[in-house]
């Protein structure tokens, strides 16, 4: 089973991050430009939150706020659970499933941000692993 370090190394999308004082509209533009559902919120290089489409829907739209007038820090999720790069895809899937997360930041032991994994990344890798196992079993059976 692959580790998250291996998953991050294979990702083609660069890390997308915004600052706490950025407008929500800017964060949404970044997300749309990179075709991602969440961005990390960094104060310099320190992770201070995560902002997702879910945050936007629940904390901006439903409260009648304007995305150009609202700062990311006002609506981001600031209690961020993260995972370390040496954890496996299965461990990541378990956390995401239990906590109902779609995105999980990956930080090293010094709290440096290495990237972010999405539920799509985890599902894609799980499917690839299962396909490999099936192919190996088919070879063994017909072999």
- Among residues 18, 4, 25, 26, the alpha carbon closest in space to that of 49 is found at 18
pLDDT at residue number 131 = 87
Structural contact between residues 73 and 58, judged by C-beta atoms closer than 8 angstroms = no
Chain-wide mean pLDDT for the chain? 94
pLDDT bin (cut points 50, 70, 90) of residue 69 is very high
pTM equals 0.87
Domain of 24 in residue numbering reads as 4-142
pLDDT digits (tens, 9 = 90+) for 5-22: 999 999 887 899 999 999
Kindly report the backbone phi and psi dihedral angles of residue 14, in degrees, each rounded to the nearest multiple of 5, phi listed first.
Answer: -70, 160
Q: What is the CATH number of the domain that holds 40?
A: 3.10.580.10
Q: State the average pLDDT over residues 81-107.
A: 96
Q: How confident is the model at residue 109 (pLDDT cuts 50, 70, 90)?
A: very high
Say if CB 24 and CB 70 are below 8 A apart. Answer: yes
| Collapsed DSSP state (helix, strand, coil) of residue 135 | helix
Whether the predicted pLDDT of 92 surpasses 90: yes
* Number of domains the chain contains: 1
Cα dihedral across residues 16, 2, 90, 114: positive or negative: negative
Q: Residue 143 pLDDT more than 80?
A: no
């Amino acid at each position: 089973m692959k580790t998250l370090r291996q998953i991050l190394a294979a990702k083609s999308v660069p890390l997308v991050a915004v600052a706490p004082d950025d407008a929500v509209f800017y964060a949404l533009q970044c997300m749309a430009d990179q075709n991602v559902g969440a961005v990390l919120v960094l104060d310099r290089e320190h992770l201070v939150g995560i902002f997702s489409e879910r945050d936007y829907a629940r904390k901006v739209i439903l409260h009648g706020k304007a995305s150009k007038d609202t700062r990311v820090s006002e609506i981001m999720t600031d209690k961020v659970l993260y995972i370390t790069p040496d954890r496996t895809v299965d461990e990541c899937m378990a956390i995401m499933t239990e906590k109902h997360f779609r995105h999980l930041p990956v930080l090293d032991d010094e709290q440096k941000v290495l990237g972010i994994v999405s539920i799509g990344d985890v599902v894609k890798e799980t499917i690839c692993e299962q396909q490999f196992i099936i192919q190996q079993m088919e070879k063994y059976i017909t072999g």
